Amino acid sequence: MRVRIKELIKQNETTYSKVAMALQVTVRTLHKWDAGDRIPIRDNIAALCLFFNCDIKDLIEF
C-alpha cells in the first residue's frame, strides 16, 4: 500500500511542507508514506482526504 502524496501535491499545486503543517506531521513522515515505508493511521488518511478534497480510492494505491 502506498499513499499517493507526491501526485496529489503536484495536482493541487501545494508543497510537502504545507501538507505536513496541516496534518501536524513531519515532511519526512510524508515521504515515508509516499514511498510505502510507513502506513498512516486512519485519522491521518481522513485528514489527507480532506486536505486534498479527494476520495480514499484516489489517495491510496494498493
The pLDDT value recorded for residue 62 is: 85
Q: How is the chain split into domains, by residue range?
A: 2-55
Long-range contacts of 10-16 (CB under 8 A, 24+ apart): 11/52, 12/52
Question: Model-level pTM?
Answer: 0.92
The candidate with the shortest Cα–Cα distance to 7, out of 21, 24, 19, is: 19
What confidence tens digit (pLDDT) does each residue in 4-49 have? 999 999 999 999 999 999 999 999 999 999 999 999 999 999 999 9
SS3 (DSSP) at 14: coil
Can you name the CATH fold of 2-55?
434 Repressor (Amino-terminal Domain) (1.10.260)
- Beta-carbon contacts of 54 under 8 Å, excluding residues fewer than 6 positions away, are 8
The pLDDT value recorded for residue 31 is: 96
SS3 (DSSP) at 26: coil
In angstroms, the Cα distances linking 48 to 20, 45 are 10, 5
